[in-house]
Amino acid sequence: MKSLSILFFTVLLLPGISLSDCLIRGTGDMGVIVERAAGSLKVVDTTHHNTLFQVEGLGDLSHASAVYSRDERYVYVFGRDGGLTKVDILCGRIVKRIIQGGNSIGGAISQDGSLIAVSNYKPGGVKIFSADDLSLIADIPATTVTDRDGNKKGSKTVGLVDAPDQRFVVSLYDSGESWIIDMSDPAKPAIQRFENIGSLPYDGLVTPNGRYYIAGLFGQDGLSLLDLWHPEKGTRLILDDYGRGQKKLPVYKMPHLEGWAMADDRAFLPAVGQHAVLVVDSKDWKEIKQIPVHGQPVFVMARPDGRQIWVNFAFPHNDTIQVIDTETLEIINTLKPGKGTLHMEFSPRGESVWISVRDKDEVQVYATRTQELTHRLPVDKPSGIFFTSRAHQTGL
């Protein structure tokens, strides 16, 4: 007993080694779930469907997003309050936390894993940090615009994603631009600017192969498409009918572009302000079909093999999930996980899907083949779910 006491006492004092709370285990089957109200994370094991750690003190996690280091050990969480927090999921603790801006709305990790980029509403612009110690590598101011009161300010930056060849792509809400930021030489960010991409881009995505960047537009119908293999061709407008049309929806009612799914040659996306999923041919961006669904879709997500699309909905229909067959384009199942069904994340090879059900304070796990509930985990007001397999994918 005595030697064990000495052991544990000593181990706790050794820097970087703490057997009492760090795990020797693979990280390929791990993930985090955002507990929005508490400002904390649950670190989970997707093989055994259990919680490994709770990590507290992450600040305001409304609409928080997260990316993983290439070794799948660290998660970088982007908070609404401008916080950037690096969490060690093997030890269940915050490694470093900084407030990098006034109001952050998303981030990305570079292809090689060395750089973390964050887009900010205030003061606008993109900041790029070392993934290692969160030291500032580059501070890229946004285009200056004049607001209604005649004051100068930096444009809000939105829709920040990573792209192959060590690039980031971002859009500027107020100035109507998209930028490619090439960080091959971290000391000299090379910025390629595309102006007049459309009015008020509010969000962006990159296709899973990293080729196409698409920005959603709040100020007009349609979306802006940029072919990253051919930036010299500039942006072009696609899906001319996609948008608010004559309706005056507030910006928060516009679909998140992260809620798009790509399966084979087709994109599945939420129709704006309608109870429908749009099916679009991703070769020519023409609409193939509108699938009537239970409510206004929020996330339209493809099972990794592209066989099924799972859809959740905005309030007051947010107690429901519908499953669409990608071949017949018909709804094959309607599930009722409960009120506040906010987010979904598929296991890497798609055998299961984890669903946040806020008002039940739980995450539900379903087998995708049968669409049957297999496990429940208690989680305090769960929202975003992020599995480590994202580390290996572009744009996630």
Q: Does residue number 253 form part of the binding site for a copy of itself (CB under 8 A)?
A: no
Q: Does residue number 166 form part of the binding site for a copy of itself (CB under 8 A)?
A: yes
Q: How far is the CB of 63 from a copy of itself (least distance, A)?
A: 25
Q: Does residue number 203 form part of the binding site for a copy of itself (CB under 8 A)?
A: no
Q: What is the dihedral of CA 113, 215, 297, 104, to 10 degrees?
A: 50
* Site map 272..311 versus a copy of itself, x via CB under 8 A: --------------------------------xxxx----
* Residue number with CB closer to a copy of itself (71 or 330): 71
Q: How far is the CB of 73 from a copy of itself (least distance, A)?
A: 3
* Distance, CA of 112 to CA of 164 (rounded, Å): 9
Among 56, 62, 71, 99, binds a copy of itself (CB under 8 A): 71
| Cβ contact 125:140 at 8 Å | yes
Among 37, 49, 63, 70, binds a copy of itself (CB under 8 A): 70
* Site map 168..197 versus a copy of itself, x via CB under 8 A: ----------------x-------------
> CA end-to-end span of the chain, whole Å?
48
Span of 4-12, 137-145, 189-197, 313-321 interacting with a copy of itself by CB under 8 A: 4-12
* Site map 207..226 versus a copy of itself, x via CB under 8 A: --xxx---------------
Q: Does residue number 19 form part of the binding site for a copy of itself (CB under 8 A)?
A: yes
What SS3 string covers 169-209? EEEECCCCEEEEEECCCCCCCEEEEECCCCCCEEEEEECCC
265 burial level (CB within 10 Å; 0-12, 13-18, 19+): exposed
- C-alpha distances (whole Å) from 381 to each of 48, 79, 172, 358, 362 are 21, 16, 32, 5, 7
Q: How far is the CB of 304 from a copy of itself (least distance, A)?
A: 8
* Distance, CA of 276 to CA of 57 (rounded, Å): 39
* Residue number with CB closer to a copy of itself (307 or 317): 307
Binding site for a copy of itself (CB under 8 A): 3-4, 6-7, 10-11, 14, 17, 19, 22-30, 46-47, 68-74, 90-91, 111-113, 164-166, 184, 209-211, 229, 264-265, 304-307, 327, 348-351, 369, 388-389, 391-394
